[in-house]
């Protein structure tokens, strides 16, 4: 390195924000987060309901989008303790056996999965004495196991509770945290304590045999 020359900057890994909201007009928080991410370099966004209103997902294109990113962000409101229907369909269609998981399905191995969600109920409602009966963490295993099966690290979620009634200052602070996280990934201190997820073998015998042409 010659004196006086700046050291080359290591390019930050790509980020794919997969956003799902059935009605953006009614979104108070997710829409703001989506707009924040839109301004950042190196962040690729997909509005699922805007891109696939007919629910006909372009699997090859989506796999290419995920393949080009190190961090996959699931941005959505919690609906019936899970994700919106189109995002669930995206997982079903895109994360296919032999590509995303299984002995030969290593396309996502070593990548990170980050859940960024909002809830209608306040944090106190996610409590054994609240009307949701469980702490919010009780609803995370499907996300965690999806990441594990694909050999991805599941990063600590970012959740805003009671989004409908949150104060504007709290919404703005939440958006700033989201933006800062995207800008600084993967340099999050807590990631140092997260080990790599091993490849999990799912035998082909546990998956249906694809139908051949002409079969009913």
| Domain extent listing, the chain | 15-189+196-206
pTM: 0.90
Give φ, ψ of 65 to 5 degrees. -65, -45
Q: Which fold has domain 15-189+196-206?
A: Rossmann fold (3.40.50)
**Contact (CB, 8 A) for 119 and 106:** no
Give φ, ψ of 22 to 5 degrees. -65, -25
Tens digit of pLDDT per residue, the chain (216 long)?
Answer: 334 444 445 566 899 999 999 998 889 899 999 999 999 999 999 999 999 999 999 999 999 999 999 999 999 999 999 999 999 999 999 999 999 999 889 999 999 999 999 999 999 999 999 999 999 999 999 999 999 999 999 999 999 999 999 999 999 999 999 999 999 999 999 888 887 777 788 888 888 765 544 444
């Amino acid at each position: 390195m010659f004196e006086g020359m700046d050291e080359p900057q290591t390019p930050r890994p790509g980020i794919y924000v997969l956003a799902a909201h059935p009605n953006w007009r009614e979104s108070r928080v997710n829409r703001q987060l989506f707009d924040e991410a839109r301004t950042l370099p190196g962040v690729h966004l997909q509005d699922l309901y805007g891109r696939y209103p007919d629910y006909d997902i372009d699997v090859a294109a989506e796999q290419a989008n995920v393949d080009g990113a190190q961090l996959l962000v699931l941005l959505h409101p919690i609906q019936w303790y899970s994700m919106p229907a189109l995002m669930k369909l995206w997982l079903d269609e895109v994360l296919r056996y032999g590509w995303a998981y299984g002995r030969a399905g290593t396309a996502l191995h070593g990548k990170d999965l980050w859940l960024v969600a909002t809830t209608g109920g306040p944090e106190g409602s996610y409590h054994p004495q609240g009307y949701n009966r469980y702490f919010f963490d009780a609803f995370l295993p499907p996300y965690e196991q999806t990441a594990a099966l694909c050999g991805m690290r599941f990063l600590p979620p970012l959740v805003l509770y009671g989004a409908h009634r949150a104060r504007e200052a709290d919404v703005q602070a939440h958006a700033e945290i989201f933006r800062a996280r995207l800008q600084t990934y993967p340099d999050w201190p807590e990631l140092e304590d997260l080990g790599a997820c091993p490849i999990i073998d799912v035998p082909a015998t546990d998956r249906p045999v694809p139908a051949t042409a002409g079969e009913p």
